[in-house]
Amino acid sequence: MSELLETARVTLFGSRNAGKNSFEPACDIPSLACKVVLITGAAGDLGRQTAVELARHGRPARIYVADLPRDADAKRGVIERIQHEARSDDGSNDGKYEATDVRFLDLDLTVFESVQKCAAEFLAQEERLDIVVLNAGIISNRVGTTKEGYEKHFGLNYLGHALLLRLLLPLILSTVQQQVDGDARVVVVSSEGHAVAPAGGIQFAKLKTDCADMSYAQRYGQSKLALIGLARELAQRYPSLTTASVHPGRILTGMATALSKESLLVRLTAPLAPLVCVSVVIGIKNHLWAATSPDVVSGKYYEPVGVPDKESNDAKNPDLSRRLWEWTDQELQLAGLL
């Protein structure tokens, strides 16, 4: 029955996640033994399932869930859920499954000090970092700014992540050198929504405002465009790394729930959403592919799984990503963070 529905959905609306649909986590995720992974927003739907699949099939030594602070019980709940789900479908059931050590790091991407503390806490615990998935994100139709005054999508989705990455970069680079296969990854979770960024791309003069003159889709799009630029520029500047930006598809997750609380239009169109959305398990294939596949070309944007070059012209513009990198350096230096 579900296959029938999927066929009807694809016939009517096209396949949202075609591409390398043949990517199967159980077969295609290689051993990640001894590796260390950090995923932001991994208490949320896509990040958590990414952690589950990596733990289930790759069994890295440790996975760090970096997400908004919560009480000790809630943190334990997140960790236990990932470990339980990774174990329950493991299939071996031979009692030999060694659960990946999952740890929670407090991270509020809207506050520079919190990002610094998160990086410091991680660096105090680890001597390697093999895979980073910059996954946390929001979409909201309410205007607002981060603690340091940046438009809230841009400040959280892009700038907080850019700071976290800069602080972790020396360890990621040294991890490449430590390894025989020389593989360290940065996966940047963008969105097809990047194409809705304001005309001309990133509005540098407005980034330290609430950008109230833009639609919320443009504010979200601007931040997601910046993330594609981050992945590309990172690849250019650090060729020893493998980086990729990805669109996961359209998936009903916590983001949609949060937006529906704010938007009548989203609530009214909610009954149609299942027709144009894919499941979380399908949605994270691009995260997993970018984090593990030998076929990733560093710096590229992939939408859907493993299909490059579908980004907007602004996202392809090397001058824009170079300017963004320089702007970011300047902002972080002015704030005394680099």
Ligand X SMILES: NC(=O)c1ccc[n+]([C@@H]2O[C@H](COP(=O)([O-])OP(=O)(O)OC[C@H]3O[C@@H](n4cnc5c(N)ncnc54)[C@H](OP(=O)(O)O)[C@@H]3O)[C@@H](O)[C@H]2O)c1
50 touches ligand X (CB under 6 A): no
Neighbouring C-beta atoms of residue 232, cutoff 10 Å: 28
Residue 248's closest CA among 52, 29, 17, 47?
A: 17
221 touches ligand X (CB under 6 A): no
Residue closer to ligand X, measured from CB, 176 or 231: 231
Q: CB within 8 A of 68, min separation 6: which ones? A: 43, 106, 107, 108
CA dist 216 and 196 (Å) reads 10
298 touches ligand X (CB under 6 A): no
For residue 25, cis peptide bond before it (omega within 30 degrees of 0): no
155 touches ligand X (CB under 6 A): no
151 touches ligand X (CB under 6 A): no
Q: State the burial class of residue 39 (Cβ atoms within 10 Å of its Cβ: 0-12, 13-18, 19+).
A: buried
Binding mask 106-145 for ligand X (x = CB under 6 A): -xxxx------------------------xxxx-------
Residue closer to ligand X, measured from CB, 47 or 198: 47
Tokens of 160: 């907080």
Of all residues in the shown chain, the one whose CB is closest to ligand X is 44
Residue 157's closest CA among 224, 217, 210?
A: 224
Task: Report yes or no: 54 and 291 within 8 Å, Cβ to Cβ.
Answer: yes
**Is residue 152 among the annotated active site residues?**
no
CA dist 40 and 43 (Å) reads 8
**Is residue 158 among the annotated active site residues?**
no
- What SS3 class is residue 284? coil
Closest contact distance (angstroms) between CB of 31 and ligand X is: 26
Closest contact distance (angstroms) between CB of 250 and ligand X is: 4
45 touches ligand X (CB under 6 A): yes
Choose the catalytic residue: 224, 285, 301, 302: 224
247 touches ligand X (CB under 6 A): yes
202 touches ligand X (CB under 6 A): no
Choose the catalytic residue: 64, 216, 220, 238: 220
CA dist 25 and 34 (Å) reads 19
Closest contact distance (angstroms) between CB of 248 and ligand X is: 5
Residue 193's closest CA among 222, 160, 153?
A: 222
32 touches ligand X (CB under 6 A): no
Closest contact distance (angstroms) between CB of 130 and ligand X is: 21
Task: Give the DSSP H/E element, type plus range, for residue 187.
Answer: strand 185-189
17 touches ligand X (CB under 6 A): no
Which range binds ligand X by CB under 6 A, 7-15, 42-50, 164-172, 260-268?
42-50
Residues of this chain that interact with ligand X (CB under 6 A) are 41, 43-47, 67-68, 107-110, 135-138, 156, 189, 191, 247-248, 250-251, 253-255
Q: What are the catalytic residues?
A: 220, 224
